[in-house]
Amino acid sequence: MLKTSEETLDPADWQDFRLQSHRMLDDMLDYIESLRERPVWQPIPAAVREVFQQPLPAQPGDLGAAHEMFMQNVLPYAIGNAHPGFMGWVHGGGTPVGMLAEMLAAGLNANLGGREQMPVEVERQLLRWVRELFGFPETASGLFVTGTSMANLISVLVARTAALGGEVREKGLSAGHKLTAYTSSSAHVSVAQAMDMAGIGTAALRRIPVNAHYQMDVAALEQAIAADKAAGMTPFIIAATAGTVDVGAIDALAEIADVAQREAVWFHVDGAYGALGRLAADIAPLLQGIERADSIAFDFHKWGQVPYDAGFVLVRDGALHYNTFASPAAYLQRETRGMAAGSPWPCDFGPDLSRGFRALKTWFTLQVYGSEKLGQVISNTCALARYLRQRVEAEPGLELMAPVALNIVCFRYRSAEADRINADIVVALQESGIAAPSTTRINGQLAIRAAIVNHRTRTGDIDALIAATLAFGADIERQAEKF
């Protein structure tokens, strides 16, 4: 006899579930409201780690108990990028509005691969806003992706189609290729990874030296292209950076756009965090030339404060973008009516078929805060970076390691053994929970790197970073002298 079940995964008692839901929402609101009272980060005790080393549970567990496990063992040991004292790497802070939007999106459980549905229209609204922001034409295409790493890969693949034609999709690069690409020595590693994953190889990526402002040396770029052409190579993409990860430098985008135009080479901008500087009246002029890009990769989850993850790729030539990815399949047949209408679909513009509703949290963020307010947040992080620079310059015990172009300050504690002492200072700062910068190397020397991205950061957080750096530096030096 055929046996089926009436059971689902929905709660047996909705009233009980509702009460538990409200407790979970309240806990997260309490968390965000009281962030300042917590350490930015704290080391994970072994016992806490073990809570998540259990065998696969066969039997149902209690939701309230699972929530409690999260509150005790996960929430206090996150990396802390929501905290105003977080200045490590380039992480966005997120917002309570974004959090609520994520809940709505999860409840709807929309799959944005395509088809006839309003969630896809929300993503198209975002594309129209992004086109408007960057001054791109209506024929430009765009897509939410995980992050700029994926957006850089998609851009390299579209540029590869532009250079070799659509048949590269069928034939691959097996017959050998002579493609060469150009980026600065300060570019993010994901540009090289994109070359690798696109099958072109990292050896074909020319890393152009930078000037004193850590911008791509445009004369050296032109020489490299000329040398490659003379050697019979085919230069196909220049990947400029708007906001380098280590010091926040913006390449001379307008000059690079001229070179790309003259050489008929694809002009890509990795604007992972910097591109959204277009929202800020005082930063936008620094990005002049970005509006001439063939493609832009950027993240709403960094300066845009949208919760992770929300990367975006914008491509000027939408038809070329479509022709790089669209793949016919019987089960993805398009119609003019019914649920299979609405072509082209997002899945025609990238490698992902099933896709989450990243557009919703981004729409809520822009709709609720507005572009001006988000622009002011961006300006303020740069003002805080200038404040930090001034504080560093005024402290005889500290030295500035690189010019401050945007929101990133590289500095260090002066010492005969500066590399080791500063590495120890950064670990001490992180473990203290007071402030959380990271490190980078500037001209081979270790620097404390403070990237101010969070909308919650204030001058008091900068003062705390300076005070703790000086105190830990003195402590560590004193201890070193004992041995």
Ligand X SMILES: *Cc1c(COP(=O)(O)O)cnc(C)c1O
Binding site for ligand X (CB under 6 A): 90, 147-149, 188, 190, 241, 243, 245, 270, 272-273, 299, 311
Q: How far is the CB of 123 from ligand X (least distance, A)?
A: 18
Q: How far is the CB of 19 from ligand X (least distance, A)?
A: 37
- Our CB check for ligand X shows the closer of 141 and 241 to be 241
Helix, strand, coil tally for the chain in percent (to 5):
50, 15, 40
DSSP string for residues in 17-55: HHHHHHHHHHHHHHHHHTGGGS-S--PPPHHHHHTT-PP
Single out the residue of 467, 119, 452 nearest to residue 303, CA to CA.
452
Is residue 290 packed enough to be buried (19+ CB in 10 Å), middle (13-18) or exposed (0-12)? buried
- Our CB check for ligand X shows the closer of 236 and 300 to be 300
Q: Does residue 371 contact residue 446 with C-beta atoms inside 8 Å?
A: no
Q: How far is the CB of 65 from ligand X (least distance, A)?
A: 34
The DSSP bridge pattern shows strands 205-208 and 179-184 to be parallel
Q: Which amino acid type is present at position 481?
A: E
User: How far is Cα 151 from Cα 205, in angstroms, rounded to an integer?
Assistant: 17
- Our CB check for ligand X shows the closer of 228 and 270 to be 270
Measured from the Cβ of residue 59, the count of other Cβ atoms closer than 10 Å reads 4
- Our CB check for ligand X shows the closer of 88 and 147 to be 147
CA end-to-end span of the chain, whole Å? 81
- Our CB check for ligand X shows the closer of 42 and 193 to be 193
Q: How far is the CB of 186 from ligand X (least distance, A)?
A: 9
Q: How far is the CB of 406 from ligand X (least distance, A)?
A: 11
- Our CB check for ligand X shows the closer of 98 and 147 to be 147
The residue at minimum Cβ distance from ligand X is 147
User: How far is Cα 177 from Cα 33, in angstroms, rounded to an integer?
Assistant: 55
Q: Does residue 461 contact residue 455 with C-beta atoms inside 8 Å?
A: no
- Our CB check for ligand X shows the closer of 306 and 418 to be 306
DSSP H helical segments within 3-137, as ranges? 14-33, 46-50, 63-73, 96-108, 118-134
Is residue 6 packed enough to be buried (19+ CB in 10 Å), middle (13-18) or exposed (0-12)? exposed
Q: How far is the CB of 407 from ligand X (least distance, A)?
A: 11
Q: How far is the CB of 61 from ligand X (least distance, A)?
A: 33
Q: How far is the CB of 246 from ligand X (least distance, A)?
A: 9
- Our CB check for ligand X shows the closer of 164 and 197 to be 197
